[in-house]
Chains A and B, each alone.
Chain A
Amino acid sequence: MNGLKLMGDHEKFKRGMEVFLKHPDFSVGTTPSEIVYIEDKMRLIHYLPTVDTPHPVPVLIVYALVNRYYILDLQPDKSVIKKLLEEGFDVYLIDWGYPAGADRYLTLDDYVNGYINTAVDKVIERSGLDKITLFGVCQGGTLSVMYAALHPEKVKNLVTLVTPVHFDTDKGLLHIWAKSLDVDKIVDYYGIVPGDFLNVGFLLTDPFRTMIDKYVGLFERLECEPGDMECQVRNEETVKNFLRMEKWIFDSPDQAGETFRQFLKDCYQKNLLIKNEMVLGGKRIDLKHITMPLLNVMAEFDHLVPNDASIPLSDAVSSTDKATLVFPTGHIGIFVGSKSQKEVCPRIAAWLKPRSLPDGAKKERAAPGRSRRKEKIPPPRKRK
Chain B
Amino acid sequence: MEKFNPESTFESTQEYFDLWLKTYQATLGRLVEMPATGPAREKSEKMMKVFSSLVSLNRAWMESNTDLHMVFMEAMRRVREKKAEGMEGELSPERYKDFYKIWIETYSETFHEFLKSGHFTSDMGRFLSHFIEFQKLNREVLEENYLKPMNLPTKTEIDGINKELYSLRKTVKELTRQVHELSKKS
Interface of A toward B, CB cutoff 8 Å: 1-2, 5-6, 9, 40, 101-106, 110, 114, 170, 173, 176-177, 179-182, 185-186, 189, 191, 204-209, 212-213, 216
CB-CB contacts below 8 Å: B138-155 with A: 155
Evaluate contact between A105 and B125: CB separation under 8 angstroms.
no
- Which one, B94, B129, B169, contacts A2 given CB within 8 A? B94
0 or 1 for each of B120-144: is its CB under 8 Å from A? (1 = yes): 0110110011001101100000000
Evaluate contact between B169 and A102: CB separation under 8 angstroms.
yes
Q: List 29 A-B contacts (CB under 8 A).
A: A9-B93, A101-B158, A101-B162, A102-B166, A103-B166, A104-B162, A105-B166, A105-B167, A106-B166, A110-B170, A176-B121, A177-B121, A177-B124, A180-B121, A180-B122, A180-B125, A181-B128, A182-B128, A185-B128, A185-B133, A189-B132, A189-B136, A191-B155, A191-B159, A204-B115, A206-B112, A208-B104, A209-B108, A213-B104
| Interface-centre pick from A114, A180, A212 (highest chain B CB count, 10 A) | A180
Evaluate contact between A105 and B116: CB separation under 8 angstroms.
no
Nearest-neighbour CB distance to chain A for B149, whole angstroms, equals 23
Nearest-neighbour CB distance to chain A for B179, whole angstroms, equals 15
0 or 1 for each of B1-19: is its CB under 8 Å from A? (1 = yes): 0000000000000000000
| Interface-centre pick from B111, B129, B162 (highest chain A CB count, 10 A) | B162
Evaluate contact between B121 and A179: CB separation under 8 angstroms.
yes
| Interface-centre pick from A2, A102, A103, A204 (highest chain B CB count, 10 A) | A102
- Which one, B115, B159, B167, contacts A104 given CB within 8 A? B159
Interface of B toward A, CB cutoff 8 Å: 92-94, 100, 104, 107-108, 111-112, 115-116, 121-122, 124-125, 128-129, 132-133, 135-136, 155, 158-159, 162-163, 165-167, 169-170, 173
- Which one, A5, A102, A176, contacts B162 given CB within 8 A? A102
Q: Who on chain B is nearest to A114 by CB?
A: B173
Chain A residues near B94: list those with CB within 8 A.
1-2, 5
- With the chains together, A185 CA to B129 CA distance in Å? 7
Nearest-neighbour CB distance to chain A for B72, whole angstroms, equals 11
- With the chains together, A216 CA to B108 CA distance in Å? 15
Chain A residues near B128: list those with CB within 8 A.
181-182, 185-186
Evaluate contact between B108 and A206: CB separation under 8 angstroms.
yes
Evaluate contact between B108 and A208: CB separation under 8 angstroms.
yes
Evaluate contact between B121 and A101: CB separation under 8 angstroms.
no
- With the chains together, A110 CA to B169 CA distance in Å? 11
Q: A114-B173, A176-B116, A207-B111 are in contact. Are A182 and B162 (CB under 8 A)?
A: no
Chain A residues near B100: list those with CB within 8 A.
216
Known A-B contacts: A181-B125, A182-B125. Give 19 more (CB < 8 A): A2-B92, A2-B94, A6-B93, A40-B169, A101-B165, A102-B163, A102-B166, A110-B170, A170-B116, A173-B112, A173-B116, A176-B121, A180-B122, A186-B128, A189-B135, A189-B136, A191-B159, A207-B108, A216-B100
Nearest-neighbour CB distance to chain A for B64, whole angstroms, equals 12
Nearest-neighbour CB distance to chain A for B73, whole angstroms, equals 16
Chain A residues near B173: list those with CB within 8 A.
114
Chain B residues near A170: list those with CB within 8 A.
116
- With the chains together, A110 CA to B132 CA distance in Å? 27
- With the chains together, A207 CA to B108 CA distance in Å? 7
- With the chains together, A186 CA to B170 CA distance in Å? 25
Nearest-neighbour CB distance to chain B for A187, whole angstroms, equals 10
Nearest-neighbour CB distance to chain A for B78, whole angstroms, equals 13
Chain A residues near B116: list those with CB within 8 A.
170, 173, 176
Evaluate contact between A212 and B124: CB separation under 8 angstroms.
no
Nearest-neighbour CB distance to chain B for A109, whole angstroms, equals 10
- With the chains together, A40 CA to B173 CA distance in Å? 11
Nearest-neighbour CB distance to chain B for A2, whole angstroms, equals 5
| Interface-centre pick from A1, A101, A103, A105 (highest chain B CB count, 10 A) | A105
Q: Who on chain B is nearest to A201 by CB?
A: B124
Q: Who on chain A is nearest to B111 by CB?
A: A207
Chain A residues near B129: list those with CB within 8 A.
182, 185
Evaluate contact between B132 and A105: CB separation under 8 angstroms.
no
Chain B residues near A189: list those with CB within 8 A.
132, 135-136
Chain A residues near B155: list those with CB within 8 A.
191
Chain A residues near B133: list those with CB within 8 A.
185
Q: A2-B93, A5-B94 are in contact. Are A208 and B121 (CB under 8 A)?
A: no
Chain B residues near A180: list those with CB within 8 A.
121-122, 124-125
Evaluate contact between A105 and B163: CB separation under 8 angstroms.
yes
Chain A residues near B92: list those with CB within 8 A.
2
- With the chains together, A205 CA to B112 CA distance in Å? 8
Chain B residues near A205: list those with CB within 8 A.
115
Nearest-neighbour CB distance to chain A for B108, whole angstroms, equals 5
Evaluate contact between B132 and A185: CB separation under 8 angstroms.
yes
Q: Who on chain B is nearest to A210 by CB?
A: B108
Nearest-neighbour CB distance to chain B for A40, whole angstroms, equals 7
- With the chains together, A2 CA to B90 CA distance in Å? 12
